[in-house]
Amino acid sequence: MPSVADLTAFAIAAYEAAGTPREHAQIVARYQVGANLVGHDSHGEVPLPTYIDRIRHGHIVPAGRP
């Protein structure tokens, strides 16, 4: 089983590879891994592939600001 640090690093790398700025990737990865740690897997790393797909299709704009 991967460590928390490994899982966080993987998520950050995946988001950055999809065009997410590092700062945003770190925030999202931290919260997703945190969700896994408290047992909310559906809000943790499980949707990571879906989020990456949505970024690639333009449905999520990772550098967007409110």
Domain 4-56 has CATH 3.20.20.80: no
pLDDT digits (tens, 9 = 90+) for 36-65: 999 998 999 999 999 999 999 999 999 988
| Domain coordinates in residue numbering, the chain | 4-56
Residue written as token pair 């790393």: 45
Distances (CA, A) of 45 to 1, 11, 41: 14, 8, 7
pLDDT digits (tens, 9 = 90+) for 1-20: 789 999 999 999 999 999 99
Enumerate the H helices of 1-66 as residue ranges.
4-17, 22-37, 48-56
Cα separation, 18 vs 64, whole angstroms:
14
The 10 Å Cβ neighbour count of residue 30 is 14
Look up residue 59 and give its two tokens: 């449905």
